[in-house]
């Protein structure tokens, strides 16, 4: 509430300042635009090269290679590219060789106006060749890893696709490993990622839209969704939010996430991400929209529902009963990771009568030698655990073992025997910490909320925990992700097929209600026969055999 | 003018009604002090006798589909008398909310937190309620279905667990009390849980219902709620018998008796969970109604900032209504049912009659609910941007 108020005021202030700024600078900007327009392409190759180098600040990795070609080498030209951004064999085979060999047996030479067209259509061998007449476009082409061909005497240049740079190959993602299921993961290359998704969904309805975001980085951002399945309103909303971005740089999809999410001050994230093509493909098939950002293997998907954190790819690859069991375990684990320390504090400080007597004695014995109140004890342990976890993530791998030894022996055992914390507390925090990892995408919200929940528990006992829980439910109910209620699947009876349990695949015939529009059915409902491949003949055989025996 | 833009579905509205009734189910002491071991008879009788009342509410809702109770009164009685009645209703909702919140605080203080000041317990609940109310009806009623099913589950589970201790003889002697007691009990049940549903008229603009759907959801909702009440009362009577009127919270005592071997005992925590949930929800709905009422009385454009004011009022108003628990239960038995009748029966009935005489609502010859609903004007500005 308070944050919302502050943000409204801030937004008003900044917009007010922007308006003033713009009105003051409008004259200035016009001259700037004119200046850019001034640099036009000219007939002279020398002039063009000079201007192009000027635009690109005469960078050292800009390669300019002058060539002469034609039947009598009468045309002089230059190819311009950035070193390391292009694929050398393509450059040689697709551009240089055809150019050198062209015109050997020709009798008449084309004039200057036709020359570029002929080069574009007949000579250069590359997947895409475009003719551009603005120098800024040519420069932009160079920056993308394309090769620019300028010919003396021609008003224009060719931008030829020769993109090729070092990239990581498709490997198993480190963050989402599976026992069963495809092992490929996204890479840092946008095209590889989109092709990985398209290879999963070979359908013409899969639509891809490209946007450029970031004033300096010019990062390509792709939206992928199933036309006719995804809700057009949500698609429009996503397009609007991304196209409105006025930022300098986008280095990772986390940037996009932070700029477009609905609830920036909530502990729960309202945009989901994945590193696995099969997960993203499944979400697209449910009617969600994938946002692929160049330069990162993490693909965002919107809208996100709370339940998505509890669904893993493997749920759908193993048999439904076991998958349902796992999912219920995940719910309990999340509950534990948020509420276990709070409940322990509440029981220990207020509700001794609720603990079985023998356990109470154990607790009392453990509490006897410890100096701090149970709340402080819990804080110390949680803090220590978070430190250990962070250290484990950041440290180089060989040192990691040392950390685990320090954590296990010193933090656990020694702290108890030295009498700083009680053994039951160590157990509580340990189960809390381990349970948190069962739901990876809610780890952050879990570790924040468990500290928040400890406060009402320390003040008002279980009564406080109950209202902390109700408050959390209220907050969850108030969240929305791109117009879809975040907690919808729990109050929508029709989506129950994939919440608390995972129904068999043949029973999940409808897409989630809140997300998809239009084509809602996934397939026909059918109950698989007990022996799907048993034809009538075999059944007769069986019957006969049965009769004989 | 609609203050709250959120829309809830008919099913959710139905569960809201059910849950609202269920929340009275755990506090039936005042009924059992009147009708003793025959308490289940007034429940059955009142289920029948409340139907005309429910039909009245449903009719008002269908007649003025875009208006809350206060706006209806403005239209029917005219702005001046409508406003006077509006202030009365605001007081009525506030009192109900304060009483229910006080009940919750009393329960918590009596059972778990004996040394904590009452106001602290109540304040925490009020804060969460205010938070929910600020987010609108969507959030307030979000969990109605879930909570209803949990409540059904709790009743069913306890029914099974105490089955072996039930004694049908506890229901005897039946029909032995003087008839006036049954009448009083029926009147009580009609006024206190069912009549309070008048608060649902404050939610009207947020619920999209056709005429038939309104009838369906109102009656199913009320019936489900009364069934729960009936089940709980029968269970408690069969377990506790004649001792029933001695307890302020018979449900808690019943659950305390559950003892199946070593494994299942001390499940009265379930009762506590249920009660907290139920009263929280009821207070939230009542606070929401008061907030909307306050905002409409002052003709403001937003209601959100009133939520905190209502929350504070409810917290400070609760403890000063009655000086003692005895006074509260006496008044709940003898005074309140007649007094609340003014708000729950007579004013709505008067409104209905006057509306019929004045042939209101005028403009809408047909039911506007059955016309094509307009698409919400969300995103209008942004669409222009896109172009």
B256 part of contact set with chain A, CB < 8 Å: no
Window from A18-32, A187-201, A423-437 with minimum mean pLDDT: A18-32
Whole-number Å distance between alpha carbons of A345 and A357: 17
Distance from CA of A488 to the nearest CA of B (A): 9
What are the pLDDT digits (tens) for A40-92?
777 788 888 888 888 888 888 888 888 888 777 778 888 888 888 888 888 88
| Residue B77 is assigned to a structural domain of this protein | yes
> Per-residue confidence at A493, pLDDT binned at 50, 70, 90?
low
Whole-number Å distance between alpha carbons of A341 and B286: 33
Distance from CA of B61 to the nearest CA of A (A): 25
| Residue B304 is assigned to a structural domain of this protein | yes
Model confidence at A326: pLDDT above 70: yes
Whole-number Å distance between alpha carbons of A175 and A546: 53
Distance from CA of A149 to the nearest CA of B (A): 36
Q: Over B237-279, what HEC string results?
A: HHHHHHHHHHCCCHHHHHHHCCEECCCEECCHHHHHHHHHHHH
Model confidence at A101: pLDDT above 70: yes
Return the residue matching tokens 């009660």. B275
Q: Which helix (H) or strand (E) holds B182?
A: helix B179-189
pLDDT of residue A104: 62
Q: How many CB atoms within 10 Å of residue A374?
A: 25
Report CB contact under 8 Å: B276, A473. Answer: no
Whole-number Å distance between alpha carbons of A406 and A400: 10
DSSP-based three-state secondary structure for B207: strand
Residue of A nearest to B149 (CA): A491
Whole-number Å distance between alpha carbons of A389 and A470: 30
What are the pLDDT digits (tens) for A168-227?
889 998 888 888 889 999 999 999 999 999 999 998 989 999 999 988 888 999 999 998
Whole-number Å distance between alpha carbons of B248 and B128: 27
Q: Domain segments of chain A: what residues?
A: 45-160, 190-304, 320-481
The count of CB pairs under 8 A between chains A and B is 74
Return the residue matching tokens 């080498």. A73
Of B338 and A29, more confident: B338
Tens digit of pLDDT at every position of chain B (387 positions): 577 788 888 888 999 999 898 887 766 777 777 777 788 888 888 888 889 999 999 988 888 888 888 888 888 888 899 999 999 999 999 999 998 998 888 888 887 777 888 888 899 999 999 999 998 888 888 888 888 888 898 889 888 888 888 888 888 777 878 888 888 888 888 888 888 899 999 888 888 888 888 899 999 999 999 998 888 888 888 888 877 777 777 878 888 887 776 666 667 777 888 888 888 999 999 999 999 999 999 888 888 889 999 999 999 998 888 888 788 878 877 888 888 888 888 999 999 999 888 887 766 544 444 444 444 444 444 444 443
B385 part of contact set with chain A, CB < 8 Å: yes
pLDDT of residue B310: 93
Domain with residue B269: its CATH number is 1.20.1740.10
Cis peptide bond upstream of A303, omega within 30: yes
| Residue B3 is assigned to a structural domain of this protein | no
Which two three-digit tokens encode residue A516? 């998809």
| Residue B228 is assigned to a structural domain of this protein | yes
Distance from CA of A345 to the nearest CA of B (A): 15
Residue A151 phi, psi (nearest 5): -120, 140
Task: Quote ipTM for the complex.
Answer: 0.86
Mean pLDDT (whole number) for A24-34: 53
pLDDT of residue A281: 93
Report CB contact under 8 Å: B135, A477. Answer: yes
Tell me which residue range forms the domain holding B135. Answer: 10-386
pLDDT of residue B192: 83
pLDDT of residue A492: 61
B139 part of contact set with chain A, CB < 8 Å: yes
Residue A324 phi, psi (nearest 5): -65, -40
Whole-number Å distance between alpha carbons of B339 and B344: 9
pLDDT of residue B303: 87
pLDDT of residue A403: 77
Residue A290 phi, psi (nearest 5): -100, 140
pLDDT of residue B382: 44
Mean pLDDT (whole number) for A289-309: 91
| Residue B5 is assigned to a structural domain of this protein | no
Whole-number Å distance between alpha carbons of B296 and B122: 26
Report CB contact under 8 Å: A237, B124. Answer: no
Of B250 and A19, more confident: B250
Report CB contact under 8 Å: A475, B131. Answer: yes
DSSP-based three-state secondary structure for A164: coil
Asked whether B336 and B190 are in contact (CB, 8 A), the reply is: no
DSSP-based three-state secondary structure for B374: coil
pLDDT of residue B147: 86
DSSP-based three-state secondary structure for A44: coil
Asked whether A506 and A525 are in contact (CB, 8 A), the reply is: yes
Which two three-digit tokens encode residue A65? 């290679």
Distance from CA of B367 to the nearest CA of A (A): 28
Which two three-digit tokens encode residue B232? 């709980």
Query: Whose CA is closest to A303, among A113, A447, A513, A32?
Result: A513
Model confidence at A300: pLDDT above 80: yes
Whole-number Å distance between alpha carbons of B277 and A463: 11
A chain contacts of residue B143, beta-carbon cutoff 8 Å: 473, 477, 491
Chain B (344-383) residues lying within 8 Å, Cβ to Cβ, of chain A: 379, 382-383
Q: Into how many domains does chain B fold? A: 1
> Per-residue confidence at A106, pLDDT binned at 50, 70, 90?
low
| Residue B211 is assigned to a structural domain of this protein | yes
DSSP-based three-state secondary structure for A360: helix
Residues B360-376 as b/e (b if ≥16 CB within 10 A, e otherwise) read bbeeeeeeebeeeeeee
Model confidence at A548: pLDDT above 50: no
């Amino acid at each position: 509430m308070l944050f919302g108020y502050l943000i409204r005021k801030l937004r008003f202030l900044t917009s007010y300042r922007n308006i003033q700024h713009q009105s003051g600078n409008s004259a200035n900007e016009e001259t700037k635009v004119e200046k850019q327009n001034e640099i036009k392409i000219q007939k002279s190759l020398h002039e063009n090269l000079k201007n192009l180098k000027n635009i690109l600040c005469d960078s050292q990795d800009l390669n300019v290679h002058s060539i002469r070609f034609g039947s009598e080498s009468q045309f002089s030209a230059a190819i311009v590219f950035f070193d390391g951004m292009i694929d050398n064999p393509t450059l040689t085979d697709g551009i240089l060789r055809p150019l050198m060999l062209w015109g050997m047996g020709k009798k008449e030479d084309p004039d200057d106006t036709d020359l570029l067209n002929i080069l574009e259509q007949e000579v250069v061998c590359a997947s895409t060749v475009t003719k551009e007449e603005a120098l800024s476009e040519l420069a932009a082409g160079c920056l993308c890893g394309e090769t620019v061909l300028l010919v003396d005497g021609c008003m224009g240049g060719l931008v030829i696709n020769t993109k090729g740079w070092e990239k990581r190959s498709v490997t198993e993602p480190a963050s989402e490993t599976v026992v069963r299921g495809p092992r490929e993961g996204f890479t840092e290359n946008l095209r590889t990622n989109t092709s990985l998704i398209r290879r999963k969904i070979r359908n013409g309805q899969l639509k891809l839209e490209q946007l450029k975001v970031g004033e300096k980085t010019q990062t390509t951002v792709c939206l992928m969704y199933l036309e006719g399945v995804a809700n057009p309103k949500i698609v429009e909303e996503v397009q609007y939010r991304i196209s409105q971005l006025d930022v300098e740089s986008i280095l990772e999809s986390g940037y996009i996430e932070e700029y477009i999410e609905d609830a920036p001050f909530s502990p729960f994230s309202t945009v989901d991400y994945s590193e696995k093509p099969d997960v993203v493909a499944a979400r697209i098939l449910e009617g969600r929209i994938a946002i692929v950002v160049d330069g990162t293997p993490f693909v965002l998907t919107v809208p996100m529902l709370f339940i998505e954190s509890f669904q893993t790819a493997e749920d759908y690859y193993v048999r439904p009963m076991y998958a349902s069991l796992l999912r219920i375990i995940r719910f309990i684990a999340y509950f534990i990771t948020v509420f276990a320390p709070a409940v322990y504090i509440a029981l220990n400080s207020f509700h001794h009568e609720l603990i079985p007597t023998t356990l109470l004695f154990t607790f009392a014995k453990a509490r006897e030698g410890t100096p701090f109140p149970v709340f402080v004890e819990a804080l110390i342990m949680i803090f220590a655990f978070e430190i250990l976890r962070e250290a484990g993530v950041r440290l180089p791998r060989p040192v990691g073992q040392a950390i685990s030894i320090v954590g296990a022996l010193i933090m656990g055992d020694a702290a108890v025997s030295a009498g700083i914390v009680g053994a039951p507390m160590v157990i509580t925090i340990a189960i809390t910490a381990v349970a948190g990892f069962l739901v990876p995408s809610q780890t952050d919200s879990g570790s924040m909320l468990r500290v928040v929940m400890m406060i009402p528990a320390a003040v008002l006992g279980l009564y406080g925990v109950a209202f902390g829980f109700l408050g959390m439910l209220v907050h969850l109910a108030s969240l929305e992700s791109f117009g879809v209620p975040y907690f919808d699947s729990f109050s929508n009876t029709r989506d129950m097929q994939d919440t608390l349990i995972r129904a068999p695949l043949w029973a999940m015939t409808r897409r989630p209600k809140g997300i998809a529009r239009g084509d809602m059915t996934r397939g026909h409902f059918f109950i698989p026969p007990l022996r799907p491949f048993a034809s009538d003949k075999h059944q007769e055989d069986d019957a006969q055999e049965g009769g004989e025996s | 003018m609609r203050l709250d833009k959120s829309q809830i579905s008919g099913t959710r509205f139905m569960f809201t009604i059910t849950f609202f009734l269920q929340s009275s189910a755990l506090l039936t002491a005042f009924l059992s002090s009147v009708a003793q071991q025959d308490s289940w008879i007034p429940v059955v009788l009142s289920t029948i006798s409340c139907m005309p009342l429910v039909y009245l509410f449903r009719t008002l809702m269908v007649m003025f589909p875009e208006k809350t109770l206060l706006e209806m009164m403005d239209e029917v009685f005219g702005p001046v008398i409508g406003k006077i009645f509006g202030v009365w209703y605001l007081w009525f909702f506030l009192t109900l909310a304060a009483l229910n919140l006080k009940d919750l605080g009393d329960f918590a203080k009596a059972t778990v937190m004996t040394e904590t000041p009452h106001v602290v317990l109540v304040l925490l609940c009020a804060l969460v309620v205010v938070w929910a109310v600020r987010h609108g009806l969507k959030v307030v009623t979000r969990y109605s279905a879930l909570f209803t099913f949990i409540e059904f589950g709790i009743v069913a589970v306890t029914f099974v667990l105490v089955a072996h201790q039930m004694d049908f003889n506890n229901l005897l002697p039946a029909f032995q009390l003087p008839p006036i007691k049954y009448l009083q009990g029926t009147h009580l049940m009609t006024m206190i849980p069912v009549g309070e549903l008048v608060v649902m008229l404050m939610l009207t603009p947020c619920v999209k219902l056709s005429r038939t759907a309104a009838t369906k959801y109102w009656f199913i909702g009320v019936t489900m709620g009364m069934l729960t009440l009936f089940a709980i009362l029968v269970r408690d009577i069969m377990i506790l018998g004649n001792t029933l009127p001695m307890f302020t919270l018979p449900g808690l005592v019943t659950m305390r008796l559950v003892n199946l071997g070593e494994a299942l005992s001390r499940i009265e925590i379930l009762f506590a969970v249920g009660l907290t949930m139920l009263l929280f929800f009821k207070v939230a709905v009542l606070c929401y109604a008061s907030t909307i009422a306050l905002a409409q009385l002052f003709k403001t454009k937003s209601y959100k900032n009133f939520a905190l004011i209502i929350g504070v009022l409810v917290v400070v108003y609760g403890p000063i209504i009655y000086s003692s628990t005895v006074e509260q239960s006496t008044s709940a038995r003898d005074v309140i049912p007649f007094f609340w009748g003014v708000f729950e029966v007579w004013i709505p009935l008067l409104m209905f009659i006057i509306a019929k005489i004045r042939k209101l609502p005028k403009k809408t010859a047909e039911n506007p609910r059955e016309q094509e609903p307009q698409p919400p004007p969300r995103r209008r500005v942004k669409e222009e941007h896109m172009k």
